[in-house]
Amino acid sequence: MHGSGNLFFAAEAPEDKDEREQLEATMIYELQPEYCNQHKQYPPSRSVEYVHEGEKAKGLL
> Is residue 29 a contact partner of residue 46, using CB atoms and an 8 Å limit?
no
Domain boundaries, the chain: 17-60
Neighbours of 9 (CB within 10 A): 9
Q: In the prediction, which pLDDT does 17 show?
A: 93
Q: Using one digit for the tens of pLDDT, what is the confidence trace for 1-56?
A: 566 666 666 778 889 999 888 888 888 888 887 777 777 888 888 888 887 777 76
Binned at pLDDT 50, 70 and 90, residue 61 comes out as low
Contact 19, 48 (CB under 8 A): yes
Q: What is the pLDDT of residue 58?
A: 66
**DSSP-assigned letters across all residues of the chain:** -TT-----------SSHHHHHHHHHHHHHHH--TT--SSSSS--SS-------SPPPGGG-
pTM: 0.65
How high is the pLDDT of residue 53? 77
